[in-house]
Amino acid sequence: MTSTTAPAAPVPDAAACTHTDTVARFFRALSDPTRLRLLEFVLAAERTSAECVEHVGISQPRVSVHLTCLVDCGYVTARRDGRKLVYSVGDPRVADLVVLARALAADNASALDCCPLIPSADRP
């Protein structure tokens, strides 16, 4: 944690004072169905790029971009194994976050479907 190492920071808690924009961008990484699908796929087990491509069913370049994004945001880490790159989730809090969000989303799924600002794909 970076907050525990800060001795006399002008802010009481680094985590609590992270710019809201940064947190929003952090959420944005999970707001795309393809990226979320990838994250949950990697969350279940270590996966290679090729496995991810097959799982989500979109082009390899696009999957590469999404995975890079997930790595940049700190959700997953990449490791080379021979010719392949293997992606995995190191921080257990990522699973916590997804589980928590899933529980909340499940309890509000029906209402969520009616939100006009965020229309669902199959409900135009």
Partner DNA sequence: GCATACTATGCGGGTAGGCAAATAGCTCTA
Partner DNA sequence: TAGAGCTATTTGCCTACCCGCATAGTATGC
- Would you tell me the crossing angle of helices 33-44 and 92-107 to the nearest 10 degrees? 130
User: 62: closest CA among 37, 98, 99?
Assistant: 37
Tokens representing residue 23 in the block: 């947190």
Total of chain residues touching DNA, rule CB under 7 A: 30
Among 27, 62, 88, 103, binds DNA (CB under 7 A): 62
Q: Does 42 bind DNA (CB under 7 A)?
A: no
Q: Does 123 bind DNA (CB under 7 A)?
A: no
Among the listed ranges 44-52, 80-88, 96-104, the one in contact with a copy of itself (CB under 8 A) is 96-104
CB 47: neighbour CB atoms within 10 A?
A: 21
Tokens representing residue 34 in the block: 């393809």
Report phi then psi at 67, rounded to 5: -65, -40
Selection from DNA, a copy of itself, none that 96 binds (CB < 5 to 8 A by kind) is a copy of itself
Contact residues for DNA, defined by CB under 7 A: 25, 28, 32-35, 48-50, 53, 58-62, 64-68, 78, 80, 82-85, 117-119, 124
